[in-house]
Structure 1
Amino acid sequence: MNHADRMNEEQPGGKRGEMIVVCGAKGGIGKTALAVNLAVALTKKNIQISVMDGDFQFGDVALALDLHPTFSIKDIVADIDSMDRFALAGFLIHHNSGVKVLAAPERPEFADMIKANIIDRVCDLLLSQQDYLIVDTGAGLPENTLQFIEKADQIFVVTTLEMTAIKNTKLMLDTLDVLGYRNKTHLVINRATMESVIKAADVPDILGFDTSIYIPNEFHLVAQSLNIGIPFVSNQAKSDLAKAVFKMAEQLISRREISLFKPKQNSFIKQLFHRGGHL
């Protein structure tokens, strides 16, 4: 496909969607629940959104939305060179909220099939037709997660108040800092109201952040949501947990509007923000 064809894949007006990567230094900290609920919260603003399950070995996005995939990213591999956004649309699973999901492979051994060129092409095609692409990643910083992070406009690093989570999150944030991604990284403290010797208000300072996003601890509500495959922003919209995720969605939309309509004289600041330190 030549350059002109790729340019034609952009959204009307030449817009590109915004790519959001949800990651964390360890498993079991709520990344998937946050990613799918944030996606569904954004659809309530009449926004086109896709979720890509970037945990190619043990992804749970489809399960969290009670979807039963016919296709996964593995099925795209053979046709990647001729793939366009219309062909790709046939591999997406539609959730009743409006979210479109690209599922992880059904078995861990298929993860090795998803090479860097596949990730790159699929992300670009999804961004050409969606307002937002949310990528839910596996734990830590494997090679494919680093690739997602490099392409991202916004990175949400999720942690909890557990000592092991904070220790590993500090190492992860230091690594992202060294790689030059600090400007697009946001800290999310999940289960922020849980009982802990570490106070949620102290975590940003411990991790070297001025601010963070706080998600309250409603563990049973999240567990029930994941078990039945219904996002809590849909059936528990009045809960403090859902309200915190809706607030995240509002902030994302506001940030995107600011960046899209910022006057020309601020373009240098805009570049700094979007390039995430690649100077």
Structure 2
Amino acid sequence: MKSSDTGMEGPLKEKRGEMIAICSSKGGIGRTVLAVNLAVALSKSNIQISIIDGDLQFNDVSLAMDLHPTFTIKDVAESIDTIDKHTLPSYMIRHSSGVKVLAAPERPEFADLIKPDVIDRVCEMLLAQHDYLIADTGVGLQENTMQFIEKADQIFVLTTLEMSAIKNTKLMLETLDALGLKHKVQLVINRSTMESAIKASDVPDILGAENPIYVPNDFQIVSQSINIGIPFVLNQGKTDIAKSVFKMAEQLISRREISLFKPKPASIFHMLFNKNKGNAPQS
């Protein structure tokens, strides 16, 4: 839709959507499940939502939404010099909810073909045309994941009550804090009602995080959702787990602020390698 079709001109073209990077320190924590369900929950507010499958080796977003994409980000990378924000949508696949997905490559070995400049340009084009861009990232702090984190307006860091998840999440949060990104981090305690020696209420103190989001455990609902490729917010909307995701979507929208395009900040990697210099007292 052109800006003239909405009766809005000028400044609209300079605004960008909000990007949310969904991360975790280890696999199997629920990044993809949260990404697709949050995206669908947001779409119910009649706003434009897109997902980029940033776990470039495994294409789990398409599986979780029962999508069979004709094109992937690999095709975008191969034509990046001729693609703009108007042609990029033709490389995406539309879910029945209205969410548009840019799929990861169909094979793991193709992940290395997706260079940083491709991710950077694709994200900017998607943000120019969508209210929210959800990035389902890879595990940990690998290079591609760090690039999504750098661009994101909010970083959702998932953990569970498992000791190994909490230990790794603490290290991840400390690293993000050292990079000056703590203000963008939102801790999400997934499967917060599961049986564990660690109580969900103890996790914020352990991790030094304030006001976490709690997502209850419902293995049956999540497993069924993945197996049939239907996000549970669509067909299990009255369950506690779906209500927790809808609440997340409502909170995002209620505080949403569309920012004007700003000059690209210093690279996170530059910050990482120069943090000692950056922390020196200023004269």
Q: Under a length normalisation based on structure 2, what TM-score does the superposition of the two structures give?
A: 0.87
- Partner residue, 1:105: 105
Runs of 5+ in structure 1 lacking a partner? 1-9, 262-270
Is 1:116 aligned with 2:116?
yes
- Partner residue, 1:201: 201
In the TM superposition, what are the counterparts of 1:1-279 in structure 2 within 5 Å? 12=12, 14-256=14-256, 259-260=257-258
SS at match of 2:255: helix
Q: State which drifts further: 16-25 or 75-84.
A: 75-84
SS at match of 1:22: strand
Q: Under a length normalisation based on structure 1, what TM-score does the superposition of the two structures give?
A: 0.88
Residue 13 (structure 1) shift: 5.1
Paired amino acid for 2:96: N
Aligned length: 256
State the alpha-carbon separation in 1 of the partners of residues 232 and 55 from structure 2: 22
Residue 82 (structure 1) shift: 2.2
Paired amino acid for 1:238: K
Moved over 2 A (4+): 10-14
State the alpha-carbon separation in 2 of the partners of residues 21 and 220 from structure 1: 26
Paired amino acid for 2:93: I
Paired amino acid for 2:128: S
State the alpha-carbon separation in 1 of the partners of residues 172 and 223 from structure 2: 26
1:78/1:260 Cα in 2 relative to 1: closer, same or farther (>3 Å)?
Answer: closer
Contact 2:160–2:189, Cα closer than 8 Å, also in 1: yes
Residue 260 (structure 1) shift: 4.8
Contact 1:20–1:134, Cα closer than 8 Å, also in 2: yes
Paired amino acid for 1:140: G
Greater helix proportion: 1
State the alpha-carbon separation in 1 of the partners of residues 13 and 71 from structure 2: 31
User: Can you list the C-alpha shifts for 1:46-76, whole angstroms capped at 9, x where unaligned?
Assistant: 0100000000012300000000011000001
Residue 11 (structure 1) shift: 7.8
State the alpha-carbon separation in 1 of the partners of residues 232 and 154 from structure 2: 23
State the alpha-carbon separation in 2 of the partners of residues 196 and 19 from structure 1: 33
Residue 138 (structure 1) shift: 1.2
State the alpha-carbon separation in 1 of the partners of residues 258 and 47 from structure 2: 15
SS at match of 1:82: coil
Contact 1:11–1:128, Cα closer than 8 Å, also in 2: no
SS at match of 1:128: helix
RMSD: 2.0
Contact 1:11–1:129, Cα closer than 8 Å, also in 2: no
Contact 1:51–1:135, Cα closer than 8 Å, also in 2: yes
State the alpha-carbon separation in 1 of the partners of residues 13 and 85 from structure 2: 17
